[in-house]
A and B are shown apart, each in its own frame.
Chain A
Amino acid sequence: DVKVTQSSRYLVKRTGEKVFLECVQDMDHENMFWYRQDPGLGLRLIYFSYDVKMKEKGDIPEGYSVSREKKERFSLILESASTNQTSMYLCASSFAEQYFGPGTRLTVT
């Protein structure tokens, strides 16, 4: 069974903290993605990676960075969390169809 797992379902952090969101897929997919989901805005692409050696900015990369040291793992990093980064974060991986994880609801206070 296809699986994309995210390290936390709910996370509460303070402003200024460094935050790591982890994503692991077990399908040997090359492509991995991080999206942010906000009401009325749909899913917006933060960063993506088509290869372990490759990371590309999406539509809203400001305030985020990523790490992909292994094919199956793609991490999203909030260098200094701010309240406007309170959101649902979704990780996905794909060969053709994109498979999504369950999401991490991050609250920054």
Chain B
Amino acid sequence: GENVEQHPSTLSVQEGDSAVIKCTYSDSASNYFPWYKQELGKGPQLIIDIRSNVGEKKDQRIAVTLNKTAKHFSLHITETQPEDSAVYFCAATPLPGYKLSFGAGTTVTVRA
């Protein structure tokens, strides 16, 4: 089955700086890569996703890049704000809506 590895496990950044989280996957059949943000006491919520036919996608301060050849994808958060503090998960699956394989998560702390 799919194996998704995520690094780092914790990340502390100064407010206004950038944060980068990296994931690798093993199954070449994976074609859809969502990123989830989980705030304290809540379930994960989708923040951005990318499909295998796209190399990069951006939504305001958040961007995701995908290198299918190397089987890795990354989340970039620019101009970090205190409300970006949360746990972030990457995931991979062959199709949207299908079962997801998750990374272990990254706890991001934004220091004021």
Contacts and interface: CB of A to CB of B under 8 A. Distances in A.
A35 B101 CA distance: 10
Q: Which among A31, A59, A97 has the greatest number of chain B C-beta atoms within 10 A?
A: A97
B89 A43 contact: yes
A54 to B, nearest CB: 12
A105 B82 CA distance: 26
A42 B42 contact: no
Interface of B: 1, 4, 6, 9, 34, 36, 41-46, 49, 89, 96-105
A31 B103 contact: no
A87 to B, nearest CB: 14
18 contacts: A4-B43, A35-B102, A40-B9, A40-B105, A42-B105, A48-B99, A90-B43, A94-B97, A95-B97, A97-B49, A97-B97, A98-B34, A98-B46, A98-B97, A100-B36, A102-B41, A102-B42, A102-B43
A45 B100 contact: yes
Interface size class of A (residues with CB under 8 A): 20 to 34
A101 B43 contact: yes
B44 A33 contact: no
Contacts of B49: 97
Select the residue from B1, B99, B100 with max chain A CB neighbours within 10 A.
Answer: B99
A95 B98 CA distance: 8
